[in-house]
Amino acid sequence: MWWIVGLVVVWFLWRLATGRARREHTIKDAIGRAFIANTKLGRDWIDTPIYWEAAERFALDRGVEVKRYYNEPPSFSLDMRVNGEDVFVLMMRDQLNGTTSISVAKKEDVFSKISERLGK
């Protein structure tokens, strides 16, 4: 009987230990797909099946502050390196179904758009 309890405890600990790794892999894969969609297809945002809570935990693990405003969905941004390039990642919660939308752009593209808008 005790071996069944031991197996349950081991299974539970294994699930806790591998949960973070699965979440990291899934979100990094989605960020890579968003980067490809932006560079090759010109799509700014992609919708993912990733629940917002997992994306929020991904941000909190990296020390990123999640912004919450009264009339806007929660969102956060972070800098990453994807396919050897420095990119700017923006994730936002979809208000309808609680999933995450992701936008990824090269840093130099973001900076050039900002300087164009500022007129410099």
Q: Where in the chain are the domains?
A: 2-118
Q: What is the pLDDT of residues 79-106, one digit of tens each?
A: 888 878 888 888 999 888 888 999 888 8
* Spacing of C-alpha 35 from chain mean position: 12
Give the contacts of 90 (CB within 8 A, at least 6 positions apart): 75, 76, 77, 102, 103, 104
Mean pLDDT, range 17-21, rounded to an integer: 71
In this structure, what token pair is assigned to residue 75? 């969102």
In this structure, what token pair is assigned to residue 94? 């979809």
* Spacing of C-alpha 84 from chain mean position: 18
Distance between CA 15 and CA 118 in Å, rounded?
A: 49
